[in-house]
Chains A and B, each alone.
Chain A
Amino acid sequence: MPKPSAPGAVRPDLEQVFRASYPRVVAVAAKVLGCQNEAEDVAQEVFLAFGRSSVPAGAAAGWLSVAAAHTALNHIRAGRRRADREEAAGVDGLVAPDVADTVVASEDRRRVRVALARLPRRQAVALVLRHSGLSYAEVAAALDLSPGSVGTTIRRAETALREELES
């Protein structure tokens, strides 16, 4: 990760980059976490790190997307205990008629999170970036892969994800 030029310095283009990329960063993290609120927390962390970095502005979008996926995957392990508690508390407090759907949906999200956390990290990141709309060329550049191997990585990730979800 590129380092900032001075301790405590925040890059001057932070707001401009933030406004252009925030929705994308939240969307990438949300695909991993299945939860917009948690994805927004991750996005804050990612942009704080970006603010301290000297990543060239032209490379910001790819860097932020990869950082969002990595940070969100890191959160799965750290936040699992807490998320389980929250889901339990949330379901307990719900009185809406669609409570059964909510339970099913949250169980599905939990399984996807667990499955993603078990994939090899590069496969998981490539999968999430591709399903967030990045092109093969963008995924290749972001992950330092050859364009030809992006398809292979994503294909393996999708097979592994399906197997994890079926298990």
Chain B
Amino acid sequence: MPHPTDGTLRRLLDEPVGVADVDRTHVAGCPGCLSRLAATQQDAAVAGAALQIETAADVDAGWQRLSHAVTAERTRQAVSAAGSGTRRPARWRMAWRSPIVAAAGVVALLAGAGTAAATNWLQIFHTERIAPVTAPQADLISMPDLSDFGELVVTEPVDVRPVADAAAAAQATGLAVPQVSELPRGVTGEPWYHVSGRASAVFTFSAEQTARTAAAAGETVPPPPPGLDGSQFRLVAGPGFAAFWSQNRPVPALVVARAGAPTAHSSGVPFDMARDYLLSLPILPENVATQLRGFSADGTTLPLFMSTEKLTSSTADVDGVPATVFASRDGTTAGVVWVDDGTVNAVAGSLSSDEVLSVARNLRW
């Protein structure tokens, strides 16, 4: 009687009834085969342990995601077929953009008109570009926030909520939602969209609060220029959206985000007066204040604070617009940020600098 094969012994572990009686009888009385069976069992146990993982799939969420992906795929096919038929992709691009551009224009007009009607706010800051301000992490953590200089009242809170797809994100924000032409290697599937409406806050400068903050830091501050104490600043940003690929991970594989660039309005005090006074205070880390002083005086550069221990920054361009590229020193994440026509755009993820730049430069509008 020949000894059963390795395959037969393996099946004996899982499906003994699938093994012929004669083989089972043989193994039971053959020390050599029992020894082989024990080794087989051991390897099977190692494999079982190595492959052990508990999963709890959410079928409804999965189906919703697949439905969106199927719809998106159909849309792409339709656009691709129509575009190749007419051979005029520029026209399609216009067709995609125009309703969204129109919607954005209406939103901007209404928001602007509403603001102007309600108060006599003077716009003193609008973001035209972003520039990195680098400092050791300890300095950034010790940076004061606005509530150290007065009272900050949130008038429109940041309200992030998920939406179904790109069209819903465009509708909710009035922003054009670009498509990613080619996903980086290892990034797959359809993104999940989150949107937020416009967020705003009113800051009232207080000389007394500023003096208290300074005193707590062991410093004294010069008196504010006339008119600054009690003056109000209105800060506005958004609306915006973010598309996440592979959510629920420590770092999303890829994020593409856009938002209305931050603006600041004053109830009368000129931007440079408020800025120069705040930068003169001995509360800000000197290296941060020096970098901020270097920004243009017309109130168009938004600082992007970066820790020198964790991030490196460089400059690049995205379709001719200056962009700031940042990358974590451990190589785990990178991002690129740029401002175009009053909108802050960002592409980031667990990718390299080259990959985020490639995604940014190849967004389809």
Residues of A within 8 A of B190 (CB): 44
For the complex, give the distance between the alpha carbons of A157 and B50 in Å.
Answer: 13
27 A-B pairs with CB atoms under 8 Å apart are: A14-B66, A18-B62, A19-B59, A30-B53, A35-B53, A37-B246, A42-B188, A44-B189, A48-B69, A48-B70, A51-B70, A79-B186, A82-B184, A85-B333, A86-B332, A88-B331, A89-B250, A89-B330, A90-B249, A90-B251, A93-B250, A131-B47, A136-B15, A151-B8, A151-B11, A158-B40, A161-B50
Name B332's contact: one of A88, A108, A131 (CB within 8 Å). A88
Residues of B within 8 A of A79 (CB): 185-186
Interface residues on chain A, size class: 35 or more
For the complex, give the distance between the alpha carbons of A47 and B68 in Å.
Answer: 12
Secondary structure class of chain A's binding surface, majority of residues: helix
Q: Are A148 and B7 closer than 8 Å at their CB atoms? A: yes
Residues of A within 8 A of B309 (CB): none
A-contacting residues, B267-297, CB 8 Å: none
Residues of A within 8 A of B184 (CB): 82
Chain A nearest CB, measured from B203 CB (Å): 31
For the complex, give the distance between the alpha carbons of A104 and B246 in Å.
Answer: 23
Chain A nearest CB, measured from B337 CB (Å): 19
Proximity string of chain B (2-14) to chain A, C-beta cutoff 8 Å, 1 when within and 0 when not:
0001111111001
Chain B nearest CB, measured from A43 CB (Å): 7
Q: Are A41 and B6 closer than 8 Å at their CB atoms? A: no
- The 8 tightest CB contacts between A and B, nearest first, are A90-B250, A152-B7, A151-B7, A79-B186, A151-B11, A89-B332, A151-B10, A82-B186
For the complex, give the distance between the alpha carbons of A89 and B246 in Å.
Answer: 15
Which A residues are within 8 Å of any B CB, using their own CB?
7-8, 10, 14-15, 18-19, 22-23, 26-27, 30-31, 34-45, 47-48, 51, 75, 78-83, 85-86, 88-90, 92-94, 108, 112, 115, 127-128, 130-131, 135-136, 147-159, 161-162, 165
User: Does B31 reach chain A (CB closer than 8 Å)?
Assistant: no
Residues of B within 8 A of A43 (CB): 57, 62
Chain A nearest CB, measured from B26 CB (Å): 16
Task: Considering the complex, give the chain B residue whose CB is closest to the CB of A76.
Answer: B186
- Given A7-B77, A8-B77, A37-B248, also A152-B6 (CB < 8 A): yes
Name A158's contact: one of B18, B46, B56, B249 (CB within 8 Å). B46
A-contacting residues, B37-56, CB 8 Å: 40, 43-44, 46-48, 50-51, 53, 55-56
For the complex, give the distance between the alpha carbons of A127 and B15 in Å.
Answer: 15
For the complex, give the distance between the alpha carbons of A87 and B73 in Å.
Answer: 31
For the complex, give the distance between the alpha carbons of A55 and B48 in Å.
Answer: 30
User: Does B253 reach chain A (CB closer than 8 Å)?
Assistant: yes
Q: Are A112 and B50 closer than 8 Å at their CB atoms? A: yes
- Given A161-B46, A165-B46, also A155-B40 (CB < 8 A): yes
Residues of A within 8 A of B65 (CB): 44
> How many A-B Cβ pairs are below 8 Å?
175
Q: Are A19 and B70 closer than 8 Å at their CB atoms? A: no
Residues of B within 8 A of A89 (CB): 250-251, 328, 330, 332-333, 350
Q: Are B66 and A18 closer than 8 Å at their CB atoms? A: yes
For the complex, give the distance between the alpha carbons of A48 and B69 in Å.
Answer: 8
A-contacting residues, B108-163, CB 8 Å: none
Given contacts A36-B53, A44-B190, 5 further A-B contacts (CB under 8 A): A31-B51, A40-B57, A78-B185, A89-B330, A153-B7
Q: Are A41 and B189 closer than 8 Å at their CB atoms? A: yes
Residues of B within 8 A of A136 (CB): 11, 14-15, 18
Interface centre among B53, B184, B253 (most CB of A within 10 A): B53
Residues of B within 8 A of A15 (CB): 63
Interface centre among B55, B56, B65, B330 (most CB of A within 10 A): B55
User: Does B356 reach chain A (CB closer than 8 Å)?
Assistant: no
Q: Are B186 and A83 closer than 8 Å at their CB atoms? A: yes
Residues of B within 8 A of A78 (CB): 185-186
Chain A nearest CB, measured from B2 CB (Å): 14
Name B46's contact: one of A8, A30, A86, A162 (CB within 8 Å). A162
